[in-house]
Amino acid sequence: MDADADHDALTGLASPDFARAILSRWLEQEDTRVHAMLLVLGRFDSVNLAHGAVAGDYALTEVARRLSHFGHDEFAQDTWFVARLDGGKFLLATREPCSRERWQFLAEALADGIAQPLAGAIAGLPQLWPHIALIRALSGDDAANILGRLGDAQIGLRGEPGRRIVWIDRDEAPAGIDTGQVEAELRRALDAGEVAVRFQPQYRLADDAMIGAEALVRWNQPLLGSIGGEALLRIAARADLTTQLTRRVVGAALKSVLTWPADLKCSINVTAADLAVARFPQDMLDMMGDLSVNPERITLEITEQALLGDLDLAARSLGLLRDAGMRIALDDFGAGFCNFGYLKFLPLDIIKLDRIMLDGVEDNPRDRAVLRAVVAMARALDLEVVAEGVESEQQRTIALEEGCTSYQGFLRAKPLPQAEFLDLARAG
């Protein structure tokens, strides 16, 4: 199958034919339990009708980005894929071991994420309401059978407006997950220091030397397994624990930095809830002062979603931290319709290219031209450029040739516990 047939031209996700091929290959493997979910966007037709094809394309690319990020947050490399089947229909599948409870929880978390407002250059877009059908493949199932049954279940959901998740397999659906209990367990885990921080190494492109790491949070929940990324943030938000979770990550990251080689820097993600607190800059500086961490070793990463609130307050807060010596990075740049106004308004030092900027860049001259233009603009503004999601030597080479400064991704290392990261850093 050629590269153009492997991927959807608009979203960069796997094509329907490629998705069927992957499913078929997985289902032929012994001792492999495939889990799949079909996500259908409610109200998608109204986006095209009311706002035009450009708005519809934006909505699809943004949903594709959120799906891809979700997969990278929750599953190991090469154990999952996302495909666009047609219109507003997407397939997420994994061969990673997964309980029924976890698969349902992930579907709920993903639905919450997809339903978030579409931030971008097109005003007035309606909120998209996803419906999701779930299945755990059994012995004897084939790709056509799985996709057919998922499609049948999705049709049934249209007649039940209040229901967004449905199971379609021969086992009984799991009992409902007590979200209150999960939130209470997260509170207890934070108090007990049981929420772990992992470090994704970052490398300079010029010589492949390690320059630091991004701090990422994971929680091993007894019933649902390992949870991180957007899924964990949504639990924290419902339980009003976002600030506490951030403090846990910041505290653990700062303490870890003190044991690293002196030339390594640490990137820490900041949420919308953090930026909404006027005291956030001072709290950050106080934590660094208490631990005697040099602010110049810390980079704060923000996403476009985190800037949807009070942009003036966010700019002031980030400016105070930058004046103290910290660096500011705009994360996930290049996904959907970027708000280029942020590059002028915010005190930025770095843009981190969304992994979608490198997807398919090896085979598509147009994608490479877009990458070249974005990097050129950033360099003209004296901004460093970090390439995320680098998974092949060819992608790394292209990022270097086009002027990116540094990179991170599974090509060199997955997110590591502190001890393993320290061993890697000391090894040079």
pLDDT tens digits, 155-195? 666 655 567 888 876 544 455 566 778 888 899 999 888 89
pLDDT tens digits, 129-149? 888 999 988 767 888 888 888
Task: Verify that 157 and 207 share a domain, yes or no.
Answer: no
* 312 domain residue, yes or no: yes
Task: Verify that 201 and 159 share a domain, yes or no.
Answer: no
Higher pLDDT, 156 or 38: 38
Mean pLDDT, the chain, rounded, equals 85
Report for 50-64, 120-134, 267-281: range of highest mean pLDDT? 267-281
pLDDT at 281 over 70: yes
Which residue, 141, 167, 193, sits at the end of a domain?
167
pLDDT tens digits, 81-115? 999 988 888 999 999 988 888 898 899 889 988 88
Task: Verify that 236 and 301 share a domain, yes or no.
Answer: yes
Q: Degrees (nearest 5) of the Cα angle 70, 19, 24?
A: 120
Task: Verify that 145 and 254 share a domain, yes or no.
Answer: no
Task: Verify that 183 and 163 share a domain, yes or no.
Answer: no
* 172 domain residue, yes or no: no
* pLDDT in the model for residue 1: 35
Task: Verify that 142 and 192 share a domain, yes or no.
Answer: no
Report for 11-20, 174-183, 244-253: range of highest mean pLDDT? 244-253
Report CA-CA distances (Å) from 263 to 9, 37, 247, 276, 290: 42, 44, 24, 32, 21
Task: Verify that 13 and 158 share a domain, yes or no.
Answer: yes
Least confident of 58-67, 107-116, 117-126, 417-426: 117-126
Q: How many domains does the chain have?
A: 2
Largest CA distance in the chain: 62
Task: Verify that 184 and 275 share a domain, yes or no.
Answer: yes
Q: What is the mean pLDDT of residues 281-286?
A: 95
* pLDDT in the model for residue 2: 40
Task: Verify that 198 and 148 share a domain, yes or no.
Answer: no
Which residue, 167, 202, 228, sits at the end of a domain?
167
How does residue 399 score in pLDDT terms, banded at 50, 70 and 90?
very high
pLDDT at 265 over 90: yes
* 384 domain residue, yes or no: yes
* 173 domain residue, yes or no: no
* pLDDT in the model for residue 173: 47
Task: Verify that 90 and 219 share a domain, yes or no.
Answer: no
Which residue, 124, 146, 167, sits at the end of a domain?
167
* pLDDT in the model for residue 10: 75
Task: Verify that 259 and 398 share a domain, yes or no.
Answer: yes
Least confident of 68-82, 175-189, 311-325, 404-418: 175-189
* 325 domain residue, yes or no: yes
Residue 326 belongs to domain with CATH number = 3.20.20.450
pLDDT tens digits, 352-364? 998 888 887 888 8
Q: Which domain holds residue 133?
A: 3-167
* 113 domain residue, yes or no: yes
* 156 domain residue, yes or no: yes
Residue 105 belongs to domain with CATH number = 3.30.70.270
* 421 domain residue, yes or no: yes
pLDDT at 424 over 70: yes
How does residue 5 score in pLDDT terms, banded at 50, 70 and 90?
low
Task: Verify that 285 and 158 share a domain, yes or no.
Answer: no
* pLDDT in the model for residue 289: 96
How does residue 339 score in pLDDT terms, banded at 50, 70 and 90?
low
